[in-house]
């Protein structure tokens, strides 16, 4: 083997051992959590702003010094509010000279277990757009050093974004030890079974020391290598003296420091195949005083290099890119890893990090609602701008409203955000930012509807007020409307629910036709009714429904209620079962009158019946560190099997022509006053003339859980007679499915068999599958044959001092209302249903209320021209329109031009670019998953978007938009499968607007319309 020596310096050095001299790459970094214990504002004030100010100043003082910058949220706040013009010029220079490198480049370092792929892409695109527009640079390496376990979606995501290598750290402690011993911490990862080698990526797993510098130094009781000490909150100390500053490097200790560092470098070198050693220098909240850091390290590196023969090591400041370039240049052949992920993650035998899959369920729910509202708002605004170029709404203000939600949704994807592993004040920060962004986007959508309904343009009135019946008492020129927008690019038929104060209601569409609806008493409130309206809306379109109190033949069906008294569910003698049916055209569900519990479900098409019961249980966990392992925000450590929570169940069945809702209330005993648990199960019957396929084939469940007692973890366990062999399938970030075998461990078996469910989980036997679809992340497990349990809520307190100091104890006394849809059927049938159903749950229609006044009645012909839904956007059922937005970035699509304009300093603040539309299309199926739906799809982008205007130009881009796919050449690492090394270029480019989308591809385009 001939090592390719990159630097002339190295060729002068003697070879040590068989692999040549060891070469350590000292990567200076600061791990900056966007949240966690302190809010973003507190962190900026205490240390984060100082990191960038002092690092930039220090890098200018020595050409050999380097640093990597990661989270863009902090960098952008510094750039916009703190950096001087001089700092800004220096950053440009340092980037050009390779001393400063942006890695990942997203707003945050996203969590990998409980995030949705759409939101991962959003936060990455948000950061990349800023970096490319401001500096003309494109990040090419990842640095996922802290997420709790590694998903197989992430390597695919980073490959699609143009990265050349991926870096992870937190994987199971026992697996890491094995990989370390056998030198298998580096491999080529094919994260997607369908995209396989096209989107593979070289992956480096950090060794046992992970991303922090080893701080043990034998010659001092202080830590070593952390010369600036640790950050102080709330204020930086005036005298610059921080707690726990390492001993400065002096003539008397430099040899000891060098010996310690070299010993660590050599230990690490033994775990890797090349003589290049990655040596991270930094940790959480470091480099707020870069001067003291670099001045000490300069001396140490110089000393080691002067004595490199003696030590057998050379050292240099480096970026992550320098390290990967060196490994790549070695030209070795690497093993391939398939699409298996590294979840769940255990750091020690009793520390399974599977609690965070459920922690702070309310935050997880709001984060997903916000993401879904953003998705709707983006396409709504994009269509409006294209169709109404001379609109009355200020586009710049509208873009700022969207940006506030983009920023908030990006921020909460941080690995201590949506995970629920933050302190209460940081949770409040995320919630406030999400609520503010949602308020802005709702306001924008309402103003667009208002504008399109009330404005006279080119002599045509955009008004949808139908002929009023003057006989309605109290009718005025202002009517109550429900406006419903379908953000998906398919026709949908579904129900939306509205809270009303009367049971006698009528609903009409824009033409004055009666719309099927059902009204019933509300489960949660005694004073209101729930009105369910059947809506049929084409893709990316909205409809207006007029709701008015009215008794008569047109009024909504009223659901009638039957209450079954509370039943003891633990009778000693099982008396003969009395079963009663509840159902629709697709399913019949039998309930047991002796217990008021579900008994079985029959799928009508195949006449297949499965036994199915559901019960709530709680894991009781220990809160005293003196008594054994504890559960906390991160960890799940049950001290025994889960315990059933209720001994009595009350049942109410509300049935009507369109929907049947069963309401089960679970009580701790027959005489208890209050319930902590409830399940509302809804099944729909769709009238003739509507496409009710998806609606009929789902059993919607909403749970009400809480407030829990302390140190309880609540699960819903669904038990069936399917012979599943305890096999569970869960989704990976809503992108692909992972097969989960139940594994027995020496310790902590229950917790180590919990997995994240972001959108989907299922169990199956040879013929039948039971699918669960979720609207927020949960922990999920199969603790017995035929069982699947979902953790819905956690409330914990423990006396671990570290957790108390940072208020990380998860004393969450809230009530949560998660929703799960059940689908039962053959594998073939559920395959067709579950992707579209999962997206229908994720992107439920946006419902807006309002009183819209308008001109006097128009003829139906003019009503048909109602602005948005006259030109629907529709893709085939195996594709998903993943993004349709106006990002607003002002960078040039031509890289040479963009780099030139940055160098010339022409990137001045100007108006956003409204002419460029960002479009992403995703194929939902894997190769071979379905005989029809797994086929490649040809789609004509010009005709797909004709409703928005005439497409004049389409450019295919990398996932985050910053590369032209024709010029994107990623490093191709040598594997046994592909012995020749080179560059990989992955996509076939679109000719005359026709694109063929292959299984699992996510294709990204910039689209330009005529006249924009």
Q: How far apart are CA 124 and CA 960, in angstroms?
A: 7
Q: How far apart are CA 744 and CA 400, in angstroms?
A: 52
State both tokens at 422.
Answer: 């933050």
Q: Are 148 and 124 in contact (CB under 8 A)?
A: no
Distances (CA, A) of 735 to 198, 354, 440, 800, 835: 17, 20, 29, 37, 10
548: phi then psi, degrees, rounded to nearest 5: -140, 150
Torsion of CA 274, 109, 892, 953, to 10 degrees: 100
Residue with tokens 């069963």: 662
829 three-class SS: helix
Q: Exactly one of 118, 119, 146, 479 is catalytic; which is it?
A: 146
Give every strand in the sheet of 479-486, ordered side by side. 505-508, 541-549, 479-486, 846-852
State both tokens at 437.
Answer: 């962004």
Residue with tokens 């609540």: 714
| Beta strand ranges found along 82-199 (DSSP E) | 100-102, 165-168, 186-189
- Burial 648-674, CB ≥16 within 10 A → b, else e: bbbbbbbbbebbbbbbbbbbeeeeeee
| Beta strand ranges found along 169-312 (DSSP E) | 186-189, 201-205, 276-284
Distances (CA, A) of 114 to 111, 244, 308, 889: 7, 35, 46, 29
**Chain-centroid distance, C-alpha 793:** 19
538 three-class SS: coil
The answer to whether the peptide bond before residue 666 is cis (omega within 30 degrees of 0) is no
State both tokens at 417.
Answer: 């955000």
Of 198, 338, 104, the C-alpha closest to 972 is 198
- Burial 623-634, CB ≥16 within 10 A → b, else e: beeeeebbbbbb
306: phi then psi, degrees, rounded to nearest 5: -65, -30
SS3 letters across 33-83: CCCCCCCHHHHHHHHHHHHHHHHHHHHCCCCCCCEEECCHHHHHHHHHHCC
The DSSP symbol for 110 reads: B
Written as one string, the DSSP assignment of 872-914 is: -----TTEEEEEEE-------SSHHHHHHHHHTT---------
SS3 letters across 211-224: CCCCCCCCCCCCCC
Q: How far apart are CA 704 and CA 701, in angstroms?
A: 10
Question: Which class for 643: exposed (0-12), middle (13-18), buried (19 or more C-beta within 10 A)?
Answer: exposed
Q: How many CB atoms lie within 10 A of CB 892?
A: 17
Of 426, 419, 375, 414, the C-alpha closest to 106 is 414
Q: Is 766 a catalytic residue?
A: no
Q: How far apart are CA 358 and CA 748, in angstroms?
A: 18
Sign of CA dihedral 121, 123, 128, 130: positive
The alpha-helical segments, DSSP class H, found in 290-419 are 290-306, 308-311, 320-329, 361-387, 395-412
Q: Are 53 and 429 in contact (CB under 8 A)?
A: no
> Which of the residues are catalytic?
146
């Amino acid at each position: 083997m001939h090592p390719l020596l990159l630097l002339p310096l190295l060729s002068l050095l003697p070879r040590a051992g068989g692999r040549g001299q060891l070469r350590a790459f000292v990567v200076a970094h600061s791990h900056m959590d966007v949240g966690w214990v302190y809010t973003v504002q507190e962190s900026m004030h205490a240390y984060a702003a100082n990191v960038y100010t002092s690092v930039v100043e220090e890098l200018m003082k020595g050409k050999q010094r380097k640093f990597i910058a990661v989270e863009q949220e902090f960098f952008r706040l510094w750039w916009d509010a703190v950096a001087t013009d001089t700092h800004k010029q220096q950053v440009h220079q340092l980037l050009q000279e390779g001393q400063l490198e942006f890695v990942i480049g997203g707003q945050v370092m996203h969590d990998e277990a409980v995030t949705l792929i759409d939101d991962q892409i959003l936060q990455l695109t948000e950061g990349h757009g800023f970096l490319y527009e401001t500096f003309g640079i494109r990040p090419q390496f990842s640095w996922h050093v802290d997420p709790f376990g590694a998903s197989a979606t992430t390597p695919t995501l980073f490959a699609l974004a143009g990265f050349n290598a991926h870096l992870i750290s937190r994987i199971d402690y026992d697996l890491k030890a094995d990989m370390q011993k056998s030198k298998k911490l580096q491999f080529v990862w094919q994260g997607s079974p369908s995209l396989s080698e096209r989107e593979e990526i070289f992956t480096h797993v950090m060794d046992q020391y992970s991303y922090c510098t080893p701080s043990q130094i034998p010659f001092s009781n202080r830590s070593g290598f952390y010369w600036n000490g640790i950050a102080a909150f709330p204020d930086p100390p005036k005298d610059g003296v921080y707690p726990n500053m390492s001993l400065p490097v002096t003539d008397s200790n430099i040899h000891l420091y060098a010996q310690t560092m070299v010993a660590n470098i050599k230990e690490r070198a033994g775990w890797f195949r090349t003589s290049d050693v990655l040596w991270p220098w930094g940790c959480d909240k470091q480099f707020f005083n870069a001067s003291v850091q670099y001045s000490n390290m300069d001396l140490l590196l110089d000393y080691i290099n002067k004595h490199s023969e003696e030590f057998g090591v050379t050292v240099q400041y480096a970026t992550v890119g320098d390290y990967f370039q060196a490994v790549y240049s070695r030209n070795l052949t690497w093993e391939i890893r398939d699409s298996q992920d590294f979840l769940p993650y255990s750091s020690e035998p009793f520390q399974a990090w599977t609690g965070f899959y459920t922690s702070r369920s309310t935050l997880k729910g709001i984060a997903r609602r916000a993401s879904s509202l953003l998705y709707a708002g983006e396409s709504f605004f994009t269509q409006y701008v294209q169709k109404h170029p001379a609109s009355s709404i200020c586009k710049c203000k509208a873009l700022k409203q969207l940006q506030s939600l983009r920023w908030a949704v990006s921020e909460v994807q941080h690995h201590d955000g949506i995970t629920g592993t933050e302190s209460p004040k940081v949770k409040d920060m995320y919630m406030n930012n999400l609520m503010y962004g949602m308020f802005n986007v709702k306001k924008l959508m309402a103003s667009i509807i208002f504008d399109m309904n009330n404005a006279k343009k080119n002599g045509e009135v955009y008004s949808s007020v139908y002929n009023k019946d003057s006989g309605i008492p109290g009718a005025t020129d202002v009517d109550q409307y429900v406006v419903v927008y379908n953000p998906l690019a398919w026709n949908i038929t579904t129900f939306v629910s509205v809270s009303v104060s009367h049971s006698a209601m009528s609903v009409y569409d824009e033409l004055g036709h009666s719309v099927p609806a059902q009204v019933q008493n509300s489960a949660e409130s005694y004073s209101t009714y729930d009105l369910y309206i059947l809506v049929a809306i084409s893709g990316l379109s909205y409809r207006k429904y007029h709701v008015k109190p009215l008794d008569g033949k047109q009024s909504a069906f009223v659901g009638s209620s039957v209450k079954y008294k509370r039943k003891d569910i633990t009778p000693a003698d099982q008396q003969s079962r009395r079963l009663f049916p509840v159902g629709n055209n697709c399913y019949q569900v039998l309930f047991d009158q002796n217990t008021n519990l579900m008994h079985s479900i029959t799928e009508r098409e195949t006449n297949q019946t499965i036994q199915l019961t559901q019960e709530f249980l709680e894991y009781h966990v220990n809160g005293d560190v003196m008594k054994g392992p504890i559960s906390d925000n991160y960890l799940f450590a049950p001290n025994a099997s889960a315990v059933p929570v209720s001994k009595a169940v009350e049942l109410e069945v509300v049935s009507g022509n369109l929907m049947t809702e069963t309401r089960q209330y679970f009580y701790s005993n027959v005489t208890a006053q209050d319930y902590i648990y409830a399940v509302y199960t809804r099944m729909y019957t769709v009238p003739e003339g509507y496409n009710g396929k998806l609606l009929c084939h789902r059993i919607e469940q909403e749970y009400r859980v809480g407030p829990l007692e302390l140190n309880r973890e609540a699960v819903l366990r669904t038990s069936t007679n399917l012979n599943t062999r305890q096999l569970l399938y869960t989704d990976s970030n809503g992108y692909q499915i992972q097969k989960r075998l139940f594994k027995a461990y020496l310790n902590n078996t229950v917790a180590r068999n919990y997995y994240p469910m972001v959108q989907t989980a299922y169990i199956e036997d040879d013929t039948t599958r039971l699918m669960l679809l979720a609207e927020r992340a949960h922990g999920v497990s199969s603790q017995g044959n035929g069982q699947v349990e979902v953790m819905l809520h956690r409330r914990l307190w423990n006396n671990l001092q570290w957790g108390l100091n940072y208020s990380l104890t998860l004393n969450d006394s809230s009530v949560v209302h998660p929703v799960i849809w059940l689908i039962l059927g053959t594998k073939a049938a559920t395959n067709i249903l579950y992707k579209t159903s999962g997206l229908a749950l994720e992107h439920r229609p946006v419902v807006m209320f309002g009183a819209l006044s308008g001109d006097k009645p128009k003829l139906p012909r003019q009503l048909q021209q109602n602005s948005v839904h006259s030109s629907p956007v529709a893709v085939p059922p195996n594709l998903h329109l993943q993004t349709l937005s106006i990002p607003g970035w002002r960078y040039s699509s031509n890289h040479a031009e963009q780099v030139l304009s940055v160098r010339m300093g022409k990137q001045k603040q100007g108006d956003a670019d409204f002419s460029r539309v960002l479009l992403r299309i995703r194929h939902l199926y894997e190769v071979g998953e379905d005989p029809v739906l797994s086929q490649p799809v040809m789609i004509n982008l010009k005709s797909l978007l004709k409703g928005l205007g005439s497409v004049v130009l389409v450019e295919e881009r990398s996932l985050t938009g910053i590369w032209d796919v024709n010029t994107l050449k990623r490093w191709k690492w040598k594997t046994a499968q592909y012995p020749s090394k080179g560059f990989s270029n992955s996509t076939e480019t679109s000719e005359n607007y026709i694109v063929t989308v292959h299984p699992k591809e996510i294709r990204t385009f910039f689209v330009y319309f005529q006249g924009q």
